Amino acid sequence: MGTIAKIGKYEIQARLGEGGAAIVFQAYDPVIQRTVALKAINKALLAPAERSFILDRFRREAQAAGRLVHPNIVAVFDFGEERDFAFMAMEFVSGETLDAYLAKHPAPDFSWVRDLSAQLLDALDYAHTHGVVHRDIKPSNILVARDGRIKVTDFGIAHVESSHVTHAGDILGTPYYMAPEQFLGQAADHRSDIYSAAVVVYELVTGVRPFQGDTATIMQQAVQIMPPPPSEVNLAIAKSVDKILAKALAKRPVDRYQSAPEFAAELLRALEELPSVDFDVLEGESSSRKPRLPEGLATLARRAARSGTFRLSAEETSQSTDDGGKLRILFVDDEERILSALRALFRAKYHVFTATDGEQALEFVRRFPIQVIVSDQRMPGMSGVELLREVRKESPETVRILLTGYSDLAAIVGSINDGEVYQFISKPWNNQDLSEVVAEAAAIGAVLSESFGAKTAAVKSEAAVLVIDEQQELYRAAREMMLSHCPVAFARNLQEAVQVMQEVEVAVILADVDATGAEGTSFLKALKQQHPECLAIVVTTASDSEAIIDLINQAHIYRFLNKPVNLGLMRQHMVAALERYQAFLKSPTLLRPQKVEDSPKARQAATGLSDPVMQGLRSLRSRVSSPENAP
């Protein structure tokens, strides 16, 4: 659809989005002199066999929404057809869809969920009372206006009591949110909307949908099994919410709530009783904004296990503390209400200590094995940087996080460069970010607590570990775990890696080959030809045995780590690689098995490299004598 200036009487201003056969524009009504959202279908783009059905459905959407006048339903002002287009003029909502909102704010506060649920169920009750069943309630069909009000939109597959366009046997809806009867092709009624609304609420309070997978898998689960109780996914949820959502998600419509007000009465009462924390202080948000309560830590752990780099096993956790398997975290701030909020946020997952000044914090560190300390920077007496510097001396295995404003940039840079701080969180901070950083630090702290003081503590090297990865997750973990052993350097790509190697003696390379791709494997092969003393540890999700065998043969990879990475194993491999490198320095003859012999196949293996990278590798000087010249 090219540039369009006008559809009907409406002047096109901007393109807002598209879905299915329709495109939504921001448009201007010159008669009424107001901005509208104009949903239009270009008839010429419709397949002849589908044209009648799609246009009938589009007209039915206008009829369904047009008969509804409610503050939480997008109003329809006009419907029309011309030679090229069928179009519908609707209320223009300044805001975003609920799924877009959740992408930015993934852990809404329970009070916000309660408010949204009340509006959604009130809108559904109004629609049902007027004979309209939506049949496709989902976050992308719920608009969140800038004033916090929600608007239900897209009645594209709504059923109107007087309509006979669709029949039993039609399967219409979005799989994640569809009721069992919709999957089975049975007639959908108002109780199907109640089921879909319950799926939305489940996702809001837990951070995950009840069922996951492809359409066939979701269908099987929706029809046959109940999802995990929300309180098992988010530890902050009361059992009363489990019972209410279980009823709303019942397989048979007759077993569900029979009306939206009935569901709302019990749900809103249960959500009202859930804890509310004053997070305005933590996030620096104005009182006019709704505070956000971070999602349950069990959910965070599940998400990290699915998509993150690191993994902390139950065995590692239980060995790291003697407090029922909970890791210890110490928060330091001179404002008691901030400490109270932090306790509420983290106590379900960790054994939480709090201190109001540096001296008190140091006393805790001296008395207890603390895995993570999180300190504010600006405190009377001892600043956060000074405190973390002392903690590093007292307890090198404790992972240190600094909370600070950007005005403290010099302190931040100095403390990071000197290894005194693992990571910093800028103020005002986001609860989700803080939770994820603490979870990452806790996994590292558990490994350090377990291994500190063991034989590996004696390994020291001036040569560095070089981490090659697009992200800094691996680098932060490697830096924290290897700080007492050797320098740790970072490169986002291969060209940066060569530059680092020209300036720093590198003993070990830790590379995510999923990020560097085919050129990354060529780099490792060429590196082994030019510098056999460098030991490579590869991080990958690859299960292709042929590719892995090729890397072993052509690059003599020292160790492989599968994702999600076990941090304890990663540390063991890095320390062992350092020991091997030191052995090469002492006895260059040990390098002979490491060297890749020059051959057409070996030369071919390195052809995937760009010229600057290849030239950079050739220019590197070796710190180890050639094994051929060794005595």
Q: Distance of alpha carbon 139 from its chain centroid, rounded?
A: 18
Burial pattern 559-578, b for ≥16 Cβ within 10 A else e, equals bbbebbbbbbebbbbbbbbb
Nearest CA-CA partner of 446 in 354, 575, 347, 326: 326
> What spatial distance separates the first Cα and last Cα of the chain, rounded to whole Å?
76
DSSP 73: B
Set 122, 136, 469, 512: catalytic member: 136
Contact in structure between 297 and 235 (CB atoms under 8 Å): yes
In terms of Cα–Cα distance, which of 135, 123, 130, 141 is closest to 165?
Answer: 135
Q: Count of CB atoms within 10 A of residue 70's CB?
A: 18
Decide: 429 and 373 in contact? Cβ < 8 Å.
no
Name the 3-class secondary structure at 159: strand
Positive/negative CA dihedral, 23, 24, 27, 29: positive
Within a 13 Å sphere around the CA of 329, how many CA atoms are in the beta-carbon half? 29
Does 228 sit behind a cis peptide bond, omega within 30 degrees of 0 on the bond before it? Answer: no
84 in active site: no
The contacts of residue 295 (CB under 8 Å, 6+ apart) are 106, 107, 206, 207, 234, 432, 435
Catalytic residues: 136
